[in-house]
């Protein structure tokens, strides 16, 4: 990248990040207006639309990789990013080119500013603008299918102007309660807002309360409903269901058997760690079955190859040894519970040193899942205005944690301290937010290249 292009890219990102907090002003009027001014690019593409609380990114990655291996030109829109902003929009595994992103920003910026001048609409949010950038990019490239991940909620999410081939809702639990509601039923109703009249719906929601809400909305909208859960989970009566069960834990993933809506496969290998990834695999595989019924066919060989090539960073990701350096973006109680359950299954270590940084709007009780596993906890803060201060975290943690508690405000220094404390038989875990993990990954790479 030339210096001129790099400077233009940096200015484009600065403008995007200056727009306003993700999810601050929910509603579809602004994104509808912007897409209208852009010629409604969302109407020119095929989609699978994926919402839910946890697992939607992993399921999206598996679906996209299998379709790509099956010969389909496949776009993926996801959030947040781990290494680079351009990770958020890709085609066949290749991120958008930075110079292309700059041109799209130049195209969209005056329209965004024009909308912001209308008092009836108000200023756009960052996520609305990023969604418009992605849809405009994909429309110009015309992939065969777009795997589109919901940002926040569903009903009022900026992605919810598309009409997909299949709507997917992964597992549902409490998160973003200040926006989505304080009960599982309320959150489920917001997530189920992506259900469209007559469009097939697949869900991996295991909570009975969430299941009832989703089933009710599917009946109202006459949308066929399918279920995908791990073996042994609650499957409601009267719906066609698929399930997956783990066969074996591997050093870099796991083997599973899948019993599907119409197909079954034994000993599928996924390079993703954690029992929760079995649930995500069941959702991805059932979604692929529904897509096959709509023209996106695949062979068993293509399926196995695609699953085996799936990469999804910051999910029980091992990036260093002696001590082990593990990255996981768990940022709500359900995700943290899954992380805590999976750590001893996949990693052997003497002591665990946890580097934790979270957002200020999160339920800090999620830390109760990971604190009992750690000998030392280092509290930090990613460079983001809405991140919780380490001092606030310390006030919460110190009454619940009997181990060594440290505060280091800068993520890079917190990671350095953790690695210095850890011996060759220990493990360092970075968690609490994808933003914390992103900064730690960058710091680790810088250290390795030094």
Place of tokens 């990613």: 382
Give the pLDDT of residue 181. Answer: 52
Alpha helices in 263-410 (DSSP H): 276-292, 300-309, 333-346, 390-397
Q: Which residues pair with 359 in a beta bridge?
A: 387
Distance CA(273)–CA(269), nearest Å, equals: 11
Q: Which of 34-38, 222-226, 272-276 has the lowest mean pLDDT?
A: 272-276
Distance CA(170)–CA(59), nearest Å, equals: 8
Please give the average per-residue pLDDT across 233-262, as a whole number: 85
285 Cβ contact partners less than 8 Å away, ≥ 6 residues apart: 62, 228, 242, 244, 258, 260, 265, 268, 303
The answer to whether residue 213 scores a pLDDT higher than 80 is yes
Q: Could you tell me if 168 and 161 are in contact, meaning their C-beta atoms sit under 8 angstroms apart?
A: no
Q: What angle do CA 59, 61, 65 make, to 5 degrees?
A: 120
Tokens of 251: 């050093």
Please give the average per-residue pLDDT across 42-58, as a whole number: 93
Give the pLDDT of residue 163. Answer: 96
Q: What percent of the chain shows pLDDT beyond 90?
A: 70
Q: Could you tell me if 240 and 254 are in contact, meaning their C-beta atoms sit under 8 angstroms apart?
A: no
Task: Give the residue, 182 or 379, on which the prediction is more confident.
Answer: 379
Q: Which of 18-27, 214-223, 318-327, 351-360 has the lowest mean pLDDT?
A: 18-27
Give the pLDDT of residue 22. Answer: 42
Please give the average per-residue pLDDT across 236-240, as a whole number: 71
Please give the average per-residue pLDDT across 246-273, as a whole number: 93
Tokens of 115: 């909308």
Q: What percent of the chain shows pLDDT beyond 70?
A: 94
Give the pLDDT of residue 79. Answer: 83
The answer to whether residue 327 scores a pLDDT higher than 60 is yes
Give the pLDDT of residue 381. Answer: 95
CA neighbours closer than 13 Å in the CB half-sphere of residue 179: 19
Q: Which of 163-177, 207-221, 357-371, 406-420 has the lowest mean pLDDT?
A: 163-177
The band of 228, judged by pLDDT with boundaries at 50, 70 and 90, is: very high
Distance CA(414)–CA(326), nearest Å, equals: 14
Q: How does pLDDT run across 118-166, given as a tens digit for each residue?
A: 888 888 999 999 999 999 999 999 999 999 999 888 888 999 999 999 9
The band of 233, judged by pLDDT with boundaries at 50, 70 and 90, is: low
The band of 23, judged by pLDDT with boundaries at 50, 70 and 90, is: very low
Domains of the chain listed by start with CATH number: 3-309 (3.40.1190.10), 317-449 (3.90.190.20)
Tokens of 152: 């926040």
Please give the average per-residue pLDDT across 73-88, as a whole number: 89
CA neighbours closer than 13 Å in the CB half-sphere of residue 269: 11
Mean pLDDT of all residues belonging to the chain: 91
Q: Which residues pair with 356 in a beta bridge?
A: 379, 431
Give the pLDDT of residue 232. Answer: 58
Distance CA(145)–CA(312), nearest Å, equals: 19
Give the pLDDT of residue 331. Answer: 86
Tokens of 11: 């200015």
What are the b/e assignments for 19-50, b being 16+ CB within 10 Å? bbebbeebeeebbbbbbeebeebbeebbbbbb
Tokens of 424: 């060759």
3-class DSSP state for residue 154? Answer: coil
The band of 17, judged by pLDDT with boundaries at 50, 70 and 90, is: confident
The answer to whether residue 69 scores a pLDDT higher than 70 is yes
Please give the average per-residue pLDDT across 279-295, as a whole number: 96
26 Cβ contact partners less than 8 Å away, ≥ 6 residues apart: 152, 153, 156, 157, 179
Q: How does pLDDT run across 292-317, given as a tens digit for each residue?
A: 999 999 999 999 999 999 988 888 99
Radius of gyration of the chain, Cα coordinates, nearest whole angstrom: 21
**Burial degree of 318 (CB within 10 A; 0-12, 13-18, 19+):** middle
The answer to whether residue 372 scores a pLDDT higher than 60 is yes
């Amino acid at each position: 990248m030339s210096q001129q292009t790099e400077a233009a890219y940096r200015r484009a990102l600065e403008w995007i990040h200056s727009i306003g907090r993700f999810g601050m002003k929910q509603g579809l009027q602004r994104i509808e207006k912007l897409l209208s001014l852009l010629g409604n690019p969302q109407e020119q593409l095929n989609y699978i639309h994926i919402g839910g609380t946890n697992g939607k990114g992993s399921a999206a990655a598996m679906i996209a990789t299998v379709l790509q291996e099956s010969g389909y030109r496949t776009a993926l829109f996801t959030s947040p990013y781990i290494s680079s902003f351009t990770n958020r929009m890709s085609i066949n595994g290749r991120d958008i080119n930075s110079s292309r992103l700059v041109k799209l920003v130049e195209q969209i910026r005056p329209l965004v500013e024009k909308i912001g001048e209308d008092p009836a609409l108000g200023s756009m949010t960052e996520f609305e603008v990023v969604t418009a950038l992605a849809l405009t990019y994909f429309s110009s490239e015309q992939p065969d299918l777009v795997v589109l991940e919901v940002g926040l909620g569903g009903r009022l999410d900026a992605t919810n102007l598309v009409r997909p081939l299949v709507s997917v809702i992964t597992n549902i639990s409490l998160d973003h309660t200040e926006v989505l509601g304080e009960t599982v039923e309320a959150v489920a109703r917001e997530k189920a807002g992506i259900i469209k009249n007559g469009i097939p719906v697949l869900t991996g929601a295991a909570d009975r309360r969430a299941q009832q809400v989703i089933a009710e909305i599917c009946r109202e909208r006459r949308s066929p409903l399918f279920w995908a859960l791990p073996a042994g989970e609650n499957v409601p009566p009267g719906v066609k269901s698929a399930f997956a069960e783990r066969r074996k834990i591997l050093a870099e993933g796991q083997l599973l058997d899948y019993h599907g809506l119409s197909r079954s496969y034994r000993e599928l290998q996924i390079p993703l760690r954690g029992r929760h990834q079995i649930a995500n695999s069941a959702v991805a595989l059932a979604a692929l079955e529904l897509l096959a019924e709509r023209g996106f066919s695949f062979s068993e060989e293509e399926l196995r190859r695609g699953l085996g090539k799936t990469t999804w960073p910051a999910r029980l990701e091992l990036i260093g040894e002696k001590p082990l350096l593990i990255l996981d973006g768990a940022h709500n109680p359900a995700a943290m519970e899954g992380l805590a359950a999976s750590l001893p299954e996949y990693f052997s270590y003497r002591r665990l040193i946890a580097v934790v940084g979270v957002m200020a709007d999160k339920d800090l009780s999620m830390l109760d899942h990971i604190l009992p596993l750690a000998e030392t906890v280092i509290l930090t803060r990613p460079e983001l205005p809405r991140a919780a201060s380490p001092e606030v975290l310390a006030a919460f943690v110190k009454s619940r944690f009997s181990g060594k508690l440290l505060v280091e405000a800068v993520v890079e220094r917190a990671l350095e301290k953790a690695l210095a404390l850890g011996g060759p038989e220990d493990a360092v875990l970075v968690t609490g937010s994808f933003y914390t993990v992103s900064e730690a990954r960058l710091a680790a790479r810088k250290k390795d290249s030094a």
